Amino acid sequence: MASPTIESILHENRLFAPPDGFAQTASIKSLEEYHALAERAAADPAAFWAELAQQELHWFQPWHTVLDWQPPFAQWFVGGKINISYNCLDRHLNTWRRNKAALIWEGEPGDSRTLTYAQLHREVCQMANVLKGMGVQKGDRVGIYMPMVPEAAIAMLACARIGAAHTVIFGGFSAEALKDRLNDAEAKVVITADGGFRKDKVIPLKAAVDQALEGGVPSVSGVLVVQRTKSEVSMVEGRDHWWHDLQATASAHCPAEEMDAEDLLFILYTSGTTGKPKGVVHTTGGYNLYTHMTFKWAFDIKDNDVYWCTADVGWITGHSYIVYGPLSNGATTVMYEGVPRPSNPGCFWDVIEKYGVTIFYTAPTAIRAFIKMGDELPKARDLSSLRLLGTVGEPINPEAWMWYHQVVGGERCPIIDTWWQTETGGFMITPLPGATPTKPGSATMPFPGIVADVVDLDGAPVPPGEGGYLVVKHPWPSMMRTVYGDDARYRRTYWEHIAPVNGQHLYFAGDGARKDADGYFWVMGRVDDVINVSGHRLGTMEVESALVSHPAVAEAAVVGRKDEVKGEDIYAFVILEGQYSASDELKQELKQHVVKEIGAIARPGEIKFADALPKTRSGKIIRRFLRNLASGEAIAGDASTMEDQSVLDQLRRG
């Protein structure tokens, strides 16, 4: 009997070719060029990546082995010596980029700062020497718990410079979650700030660090504090130090440590974990190469681009595509402390207009929030500088894609819909904007060098159009190396769900997907979120996309609820556009709309109108809480990453 797959129920036929002018100047100019590159990479992956590593990065010493693959453990560029801080900074200093803007920062209150490559290099070297003065050595771990300020990027690059691994812990985590992560990493020093500004409020970060350390983190010997909000904080004598005091007297001379390509670069804890934290391990050489190449080709970066990714550095997107990928390429990267908020809901459009942003990379959840706010806000700003748009974090609904294309991109900007994860380190499936015709809602095709497929639980490819399990069949340079301190958990979590095929191990991402007749990938949501309705296994994303395609719906989240007859029934949480009101008539209309779009099997059994959905501060919907609410159960699991815990109370009352 064939293993179960996920039924594909959404069909999207719109196709958008790369604009002619865009394709002419792109790094990869045609679909034929993409296919030739992908075929060359698949034929000899080691040679493909070795050639790029030689061409694109500075190495202190060449490697002797490109790939050592002992499934599921990979080592890339074995024996090579490299430093990612050197590749992001030093090698640009003897070029015209020395005085180019490396980092443009805008604070939520409106303060701003621009650092050239030379200035950023100087501050990173000073901070590297500060860390050395605090006893940090190569191989030590440093916790970074910061707002979105330049010092967050400086701290990361300073750690990398001296060979200390950083673990950036998102500023939305609670003191308890912070404590668990610092203990798991055995951090020696914590870098934080008195506070940060977010949604017109001050977030007290230093107080959370104090609480975490009081709870017991014996490995931490020092705390470094950035003065951001000028809030009153408690400073423990001998342990706590002000960043500006130590930096003022630090030398700006700090040669980059020659790191082995497989030396630990950082540990990043995945969000929403329960029990023991899961630290994703990334090493130096392969991660440097892969983030460099994906940034260069997927964003088609030019020397005059002003690039802005709206993520937080506490997530992998901030690591790979605010700090390391852009700076390795010598690009200008924008960092913004704030988010849309009551005092300025149009702040993102202000930043684009103010700095002439040319490449804008944000999350579908943000786009759906923009849609709810209305077209007036973006249309009131000059967004004509934009030439390329991107999305990250989750599949984008086709109608949200179309709004982004029309209202933000003015129908002139290609959209790269990127599929990847904390564990993959960089983009795995993405359009190349000068080469790939795009389809709203599809991440299109794998990045050259990535061998991805959609299979059943036996590892056999499913036919085009059928849903299955999204896997990667060959190691890639930026893949996670293990779970920190727990190789068995790494093997169990990522490599044992799908059976090996002819001895070939398959990395399973946890996502369901389908591949259409053109070879385009459509991510259908986490397999944990698949709903089994009368024996039909339906992906949540496709039902949500059908709901969002109705003009009344700004955002939707779908979960399964136990049903005695069907096994599970579809329960939908719906946020309406501002001009629409909740009513029983609208519920029936939406149910019929889903039937019309994808069939009676996907008709929601219940629709609940809501003002907001439970989300992490990175914008991801926390569906397990919605499943609890739909089933009338108590909220279960870790809520430490949740943006606004009052949302759950509102949903219960509503």
> Which range of residues forms the domain containing residue 165?
84-257
- Dist. CA 401–CA 370, nearest whole Å: 12
- Dist. CA 308–CA 556, nearest whole Å: 27
Judge whether 69 lies within some domain. Answer: yes
**How confident is the model at residue 264, as a pLDDT?**
98
pLDDT band at 636 (very low <50, low <70, confident <90, very high): low
Q: Does the pLDDT at position 624 exceed 90?
A: no
The answer to whether 602 and 543 are in contact (CB under 8 A) is yes
Q: Are residues 57 and 170 in the same domain?
A: no
Judge whether 305 lies within some domain. Answer: no
Return the higher-pLDDT residue of 274 and 125.
Answer: 125
Query: Residues near 265 by Cβ (< 8 Å), separated by ≥ 6?
Result: 84, 160, 165, 166, 282, 283, 284, 287
Q: Give the mean pLDDT of 380-403.
A: 93
- Dist. CA 523–CA 530, nearest whole Å: 12
**How confident is the model at residue 535, as a pLDDT?**
66
Q: Give the mean pLDDT of 15-28.
A: 89
Of the candidates 386, 476, 463, the residue with the CA atom closest to the CA atom of residue 429: 476
Q: What is the DSSP string of 282-325?
A: EESHHHHHHHHHHHHHHTT--TT-EEEE-S-TTSHHHIIIIIIH
**Which two structure tokens, joined as six digits, stand for 546?**
């059908």
Q: Are residues 213 and 251 in the same domain?
A: yes
Q: Are residues 107 and 245 in the same domain?
A: yes
Q: Are residues 161 and 53 in the same domain?
A: no
Judge whether 431 lies within some domain. Answer: yes
* pLDDT tens-digit readout, 524-572: 888 877 787 766 667 787 788 889 989 999 999 998 888 777 778 899 9
Q: Are residues 416 and 489 in the same domain?
A: yes
Residue that terminates a domain, selected from 526, 561, 579 = 526
pLDDT band at 612 (very low <50, low <70, confident <90, very high): confident
- Dist. CA 381–CA 96, nearest whole Å: 32
Please tell me the least confidently modeled range out of 155-159, 302-306, 501-505: 501-505
**How confident is the model at residue 1, as a pLDDT?**
38
Q: Are residues 460 and 552 in the same domain?
A: no
Q: Give the mean pLDDT of 276-285.
A: 92
Of the candidates 281, 61, 308, the residue with the CA atom closest to the CA atom of residue 166: 281
pLDDT band at 273 (very low <50, low <70, confident <90, very high): very low
**How confident is the model at residue 274, as a pLDDT?**
45
Give how far Cα 336 sits from Cα of 144, 249, 378, Å: 18, 28, 17
* pLDDT tens-digit readout, 113-157: 999 999 999 999 999 999 999 999 999 999 999 999 999 999 999
pLDDT above 70 as % of the chain: 96
Q: Are residues 479 and 342 in the same domain?
A: yes
**How confident is the model at residue 8, as a pLDDT?**
64
Judge whether 280 lies within some domain. Answer: no
Q: Are residues 482 and 546 in the same domain?
A: no
Q: Are residues 492 and 555 in the same domain?
A: no
pLDDT band at 9 (very low <50, low <70, confident <90, very high): low
Judge whether 304 lies within some domain. Answer: no
Residue that terminates a domain, selected from 233, 257, 281 = 257
Judge whether 225 lies within some domain. Answer: yes
Q: Are residues 77 and 88 in the same domain?
A: no
CATH of the domain at 199: 3.40.50.12780
Q: Are residues 118 and 251 in the same domain?
A: yes
What is the residue-averaged pLDDT of the chain? Answer: 92
Element (H, E) at 201: strand 201-203
Q: Are residues 232 and 252 in the same domain?
A: yes
* pLDDT tens-digit readout, 331-352: 999 999 988 888 999 999 999 9
* pLDDT tens-digit readout, 101-122: 999 999 999 999 999 999 999 9
Q: Does the pLDDT at position 361 exceed 90?
A: yes
Residues 90-105 as b/e (b if ≥16 CB within 10 A, e otherwise) read bebeeeebeebbbbbb
Q: Does the pLDDT at position 220 exceed 90?
A: yes
Judge whether 281 lies within some domain. Answer: no
CATH of the domain at 628: 3.30.300.30
Of the candidates 220, 138, 240, the residue with the CA atom closest to the CA atom of residue 178: 220
Residue that terminates a domain, selected from 526, 546, 561 = 526
Q: How many residues does the structure list for the chain?
A: 654
> Which is it for strands 81-82 and 73-78: parallel, antiparallel or unpaired?
unpaired
Judge whether 271 lies within some domain. Answer: no
Number of domains in the chain: 3
**How confident is the model at residue 545, as a pLDDT?**
84
